[in-house]
Amino acid sequence: MNFGKIYALGLRHIYLISNSLPRIIDLIYWPTVQIFLWGFISKFFTLSSDYYSNTVGIILTAAILYDFLFRVSISFNMMFLEEIWSRNFTNLFIAPIRISEIITSLTLTAILRALIGLVPAAILAIPLFGVSVFKLGLPLLLLLLPLYLFGVTLGLLVTSGLLRFGPSFENIAWASLFFLAPLGCIYYPIEILPYSLQIVAKGLPLVHIFEEMRNILLNNTVNYFDIIKSISISIVYFILGVIIFYSSYLGAKQRGTLINMGE
């Protein structure tokens, strides 16, 4: 791994963001809207539901964590799509940077993009709704880790689709997370799902992350076994994502799509 090259590719995206105020506003705008929306919903539920009555920020915390996953994944996809939109794809793939370095750079830059949007929104939630995700402390980091890995994995799968099917796969990029959200049990316990879907949901790290988040907020205890389980599942998916990405790259070389990938 050459960290100079990983930094160079990251720098390309940092310049892209820093050159454009509308881009920075766009990164912050959507998480903030989410926080406002879920903040008011959360407030209403808190006043009207026994389940949530003791835990003011349970929905808002779930919304912030889900948005983190969403932002990481979308950021990964966006950075890849930027290369297609700007017709820079060929330049990137003929540069002396390894595929592993491209993945590493996108993975590291994705978290930066996600945090630019999410940190101001999470800070805003403190005075507005009296909810601070930071109160979760160390367990927050342990919950964010599998979310980050899974977000990157979804990004890898979508970008593999872009390599395989070309820019027409772009719409799937936007839809990918909404497809998994119902099974992630983000805002409700897993028992709400029909039994057959519970089995499928348990194969995803999201259920374990959000169940554990609710456990911490409702019972004030941390089940590290569940956290380790969610991290382990995320690592398995991540490895699978990397394998699929490599396989799509090799397929694109066979089909010759790397040389004329563009809008």
Partner 1 sequence: MFIQIKNLSKVFKKNLAVDKINFHIEKNKTVGLLGPNGCGKTTSIGMMLGLIKPSEGEIMIDNKNLESFKRDDILTRINFCSPYIELPKKLTVKQNLEVYGRLYGVKNLSERILEISQDLDIKNFFKRKTGELSSGQKNRVSLAKSLINKPEILLLDEPTASLDPDIGDFVRSYIQEYRSKNQVTILLASHNMSEVERLCDSIIMMKKGKIIDKGTCNEIVKKHGRNNLEETFLKLARSNDELR
Which residues make up the interface to partner 1 (CB under 8 A)?
2, 4-5, 7-9, 11-12, 15-16, 19-20, 82-83, 86-91, 93-99, 250, 253-256, 258-260, 262
Closer by beta carbon to partner 1, 96 or else 127:
96
Could you tell me the smallest distance in angstroms from the CB atom of residue 21 to partner 1? 12
8 Å CB contact between 244 and 157: yes
Both tokens assigned to 27: 């990164």
Q: How far is the CB of 107 from partner 1 (least distance, A)?
A: 17
**Among residues 47 and 94, whose Cβ is nearest to partner 1?**
94
Residues with Cβ < 8 Å from 145, sequence gap 6 or more?
231, 234
The end-to-end CA distance of the chain, in Å, is 31
Question: Cβ closer to partner 1: 85 or 188?
Answer: 85
- Tell me the closest approach of the beta carbon of residue 85 to partner 1, in angstroms: 9
Query: Hey, CA dihedral for 84, 112, 250, 244, is it positive or negative?
Result: negative
Instruction: For partner 1, give the closer residue by CB, 194 or 256.
Output: 256
Q: How far is the CB of 106 from partner 1 (least distance, A)?
A: 14
Q: Quick one: which H or E segment has residue 198? A: helix 195-202
Handedness of CA 107, 110, 115, 118 (dihedral sign): negative
Nearest approach, Cβ of 259 to partner 1 (angstroms)?
Answer: 4
User: By the 8 A CB rule, do 114 and 34 touch?
Assistant: no
Closest CA to 63 of 24, 29, 37, 25: 37
Q: Is the Cβ of residue 95 or residue 200 nearer to partner 1 in the bound state?
A: 95
- Provide the total of helices (H) and of strands (E) in the chain, helices listed first: 10, 0
Least distance from partner 1 to the Cβ atom of residue 6, Å: 10
Closest CA to 113 of 159, 161, 150, 78: 78
Distance CA 101, CA 245 (A): 13
Q: Which is nearer to partner 1, 16 or 28 (CB)?
A: 16
